[in-house]
Amino acid sequence: MAEIVAGVACSHVPFLAMHPGFEYAEEGQRNRVTAGFARARELLEAARPDAIVIFSTDHFDRCFFDNLPAFLVGVGDEAAGPATPTLPIPRARVAVAGALGRFVVSEGMEGGVDFALSEELALDHAEIVPLSFLTPRWDVPIVPIVVNAFAAPMPSLRRCHDVGAFVAGCVARFAQPWRVAVVGTGGLSHWVGPPETGKINAEFDRWFLERLARREVEQVFAKYPRNELERVAGNGGNEVRDWLAVAGAMPPGMRAEVLAYEPVAQWATGTGVMAWSA
């Protein structure tokens, strides 16, 4: 049977992989963020995963209102991107652990999670940016799970956490003796579109990170039902659903640690990295 051996949650702000956009940030801030990613990479490499389940977000470059699933699993042989070819970040190609992805979809049909699936899912900056730091050799197969955190109706925060826990159960039932890491990408607080573009709520970001580190996610669900989260963390803050999915997937013995947090004004995003390890 497979087992979950590590977890990472992190921002996927495109400026992290853009030049000179990366250098726009104050040097100390960007150095602390990249140091957090470096530490997360160390923890991942020490865990020696055979595959990475990555919860990420679409930005209307793979899904749209004609087909907007709550949870979409990539099950093809490989994935490449970015899906938006004009986005100035490096192109990437990575193998997809399709057997595990298909197993998750099949288990969902029996267990109450109706995953959509795609054999031709392209990569978005939501996967490319963080993985360029975490697995820069692109040598660990992934199972991409796209969570709708972009347009209503979105799955609730609790639902995303519970789906993460469900995926953890699927991993435990998967027949191959794989070591599996779970990654979630997006946020933290940021507003996309006028008039509030550039706003960051560092108070919310730090509170949210502390709740995850202390395994106090029930406080998140209680404080931010329905659309309350967007008012406080911005429409981009909806992406913390991916962080909650990772938190839901983590075994009880995992230790959570915030590795970096910076409210980077030049990137218009509260930018953070945290990890779970044994």
Biggest CA–CA distance in the chain, Å, is: 51
Domain total in the chain: 1
Q: Is the pLDDT of residue 227 over 80?
A: no
Q: For 170-193, how does the pLDDT look when each residue is reduced to its tens digit (9 = 90+)?
A: 999 999 999 999 999 999 999 998
CATH of the domain at 58: 3.40.830.10
List beta partners, residue 179.
3
Cis peptide before 136 (omega within 30 of 0): no
What is the band of 137 on the pLDDT scale with cuts at 50, 70, 90?
very high
Q: What band does 1 get if pLDDT is binned at 50, 70 and 90?
A: confident
pLDDT score of 61 more than 90: no
Q: Are 72 and 115 in contact (CB under 8 A)?
A: yes
pLDDT tens-place string over residues 244-269: 999 999 999 999 999 999 999 999 99
The domain in which residue 131 lies consists of 3-277
d(CA 13, CA 185): 9
Q: What is the pLDDT of residue 204?
A: 98
